[in-house]
Amino acid sequence: MIRKNFNNAKRIVIKVGTSTLTHENGQLNLYRIERIIREISDLHNRDIEVLLVTSGAIGVGSTRMGLKKIPRTIPEKQALAAIGQGALLHLYEKIFAEYGKTVAQVLLTREDMDERIRYLNATNALLAIINMNVIPIINENDTVAVDEIKFGDNDTLSAMVATIVNADLLMILSDVDGLYDSDPRVNKEAKLLNEVNEITVNMEESSKTRGTKFSSGGMLTKLKAANICMAAGVPMVIANSEIENVIFKIINGDSLGTVFVPKEEKMHARKKWIAFASVTHGKVIVDEGAEQALLKKGKSLLPSGIKEVEGDFERGMIVAVCSTKGYEIARGMVNYNAFQIKKIAGKKTSEIEKMLGEKDYDEVIHRNNLWIKN
């Protein structure tokens, strides 16, 4: 079993949700926060590198302002995040310091992942913090994020962090025991899944629930995080934060929660960015021949296989590659902009220079810059 390898993990990402940090009324659950920090500090004392991804800034801000639930508008959420982030970090700093640990706040937005240079800068900054023997405390920068650049939840953010730092394990600690074969709130006979090797459509359909009134997640966001981790070669565990010594027990291989088993083949760092970190800026629709060449033969995308182009994107941006049936089969970095690809779509590579007046590449997307969606 994969769990027996967790004791050898050298770099772990731990994500705690709002439901873990707070009581049902939105007030901070100080006992649970202190217990988790104590466990993380002890892991750190064993020379295990730990990165903590935390939710709760907006929830803490809401409670500070006496609100019964989180408002809907982005400006109000941003204001509450500004109030809550400082309070939350101060609490982390205070308790971690009692165990002799130094922490660093890292706030990320989707934009930091969308551009390759900023993605590398974020990666290098996290690794530098770790190398200084400091524990990064990571959150989405809700104070400046808007819908277009939000990760949307810290489950996804934690998966992104785990992939970019090549973590050995991602733990998502929440108020649920793990993934069930059906919704346990509806079906009392629902069974907890100990191990998952593939996320099915049925799993996603039966997991479309939100978290608490102070949180943004739910099981569906955790499955999205698991998809990222499994594809990138990082094992992930969902477990209940109420369990005493839950972090130690997971590390020791106890059969807690649900473990998502990753693919054996680790993904190259560049393809991780293409697959998960970047936002797609448009679409190219390919014919069946091109689809088979990409999926079965590991070929690059040539202009002859392109039928349609959607969106207005520039050279070097990431676009989705879709079949004629409409589903995404891959995504990659284009060598030409949208206008140029429209002109050469369906043409042979020998015709590119004639159509554009120049030819820098034979391929619209080279296979080295292409991620195939499994």
pLDDT in tens, 159-197: 999 999 999 999 999 988 999 887 777 788 888 999 999
Which of the listed CATH numbers 2.30.130.10, 3.40.50.800, 2.160.20.10, 3.30.70.270 matches domain 280-372? 2.30.130.10
Average pLDDT on 311-331 reads 93
The C-alpha atoms of residue 220 and residue 261 are separated, in whole angstroms, by: 17
Residue 47 annotated as lining a ligand binding site? no
pLDDT score of 187:
80
**What pTM did the predictor assign?**
0.83
CATH number of 2-271: 3.40.1160.10
Chain segment 99-121, per-residue pLDDT in tens: 999 999 998 887 788 778 888 88
Average pLDDT on 11-30 reads 89
- What the block records as the tokens of 206 is 């039966």
| Nearest alpha-carbon partner for 77 in 141, 12, 154, 173 | 141
Give the percent of the chain with pLDDT over 70.
Answer: 94
Q: Which residues contact 362 (CB under 8 A, 6 or more apart)?
A: 300, 302, 349, 352
Chain segment 267-287, per-residue pLDDT in tens: 777 888 888 877 899 999 999
The C-alpha atoms of residue 362 and residue 307 are separated, in whole angstroms, by: 17
pLDDT bin (cut points 50, 70, 90) of residue 213 is very low
Residue 174 annotated as lining a ligand binding site? yes
Q: Is the pLDDT of residue 216 over 80?
A: no
pLDDT score of 215:
42
Length of the chain: 374
Residue 55 annotated as lining a ligand binding site? yes
pLDDT score of 53:
96
pLDDT bin (cut points 50, 70, 90) of residue 208 is low
Where along the chain do its domains lie? Answer: 2-271, 280-372
pLDDT score of 127:
95
pLDDT score of 269:
76
Residue 175 annotated as lining a ligand binding site? yes
pLDDT score of 152:
59
Residue 218 annotated as lining a ligand binding site? yes
Residue 200 annotated as lining a ligand binding site? no
